[in-house]
Copies of this chain bind each other. A is one copy, B any other.
Amino acid sequence: MNKLDVTEAIFAIKKEKDLTWEAIAEAVGMTDVWVTSACLGMNSCTEEVADKLVSFLGLPDAAKAALMEYPTKTWDQAIPQDPLIYRLYEVVGVYGPTLKEVIQEKFGDGIMSAIDFSMSVEKEENPKGDRVVLTLNGKFLPYKSW
């Protein structure tokens, strides 16, 4: 059983049991964004989390090892097409140099880590239409000289 098999099994069970990512996240004690990414095969679980996922969802035992494997993180489309994902890509294109200016003014020469990193999605209710609030939190890494 590899990570892809586990992802397919989770989608099938989630549909059958009518579960939400939020419920799964709560059951294993992690956030919804992280748990979803682990279920999609883009992050590795600790043994504890893998155990909880297997038991809460009723996955086969072989799923545990696959959930704990270190993933190869790849994506199909260099320029994403699904409108939800493309809009994020567009934000990076339009605002990338702006963010470089602002972040490096506040922190110095360096980058925001995408490894020592977390992310969350919140709903902001608004009479003119609810808003998605997406928060990225990454460690600042200064360039080293030598």
Q: Given contacts A34-B145, A134-B112, is CB(A42)–CB(B105) below 8 Å?
A: no
The complex places the Cα of A3 from the Cα of B142 at a distance, in Å, of 20
Question: A52-70: contact bitstring with B at CB < 8 Å (1 yes, 0 no)?
Answer: 0000000000000100001
The complex places the Cα of A124 from the Cα of B42 at a distance, in Å, of 26
If over half of A's interface residues share one DSSP class (helix, strand or loop), that class is named, otherwise mixed; here it is mixed
* B146 touching A30, Cβ below 8 Å: yes
* B92 touching A85, Cβ below 8 Å: yes
Interface size on A, residues (CB 8 A): 91
Residue A88 lies at the interface, judged by CB distance under 8 Å to chain B:
yes
The complex places the Cα of A37 from the Cα of B125 at a distance, in Å, of 27
Residue A26 lies at the interface, judged by CB distance under 8 Å to chain B:
no
The complex places the Cα of A42 from the Cα of B72 at a distance, in Å, of 18
The complex places the Cα of A28 from the Cα of B146 at a distance, in Å, of 11
Residues of B within 8 A of A78 (CB): 78-79
The complex places the Cα of A116 from the Cα of B145 at a distance, in Å, of 9
The complex places the Cα of A89 from the Cα of B111 at a distance, in Å, of 13
* B32 touching A102, Cβ below 8 Å: yes
Q: Given contacts A98-B42, A102-B36, is CB(A70)–CB(B109) below 8 Å?
A: yes
Residues of B within 8 A of A121 (CB): 99, 102-103, 106
* A75 touching B49, Cβ below 8 Å: no
The complex places the Cα of A117 from the Cα of B129 at a distance, in Å, of 12
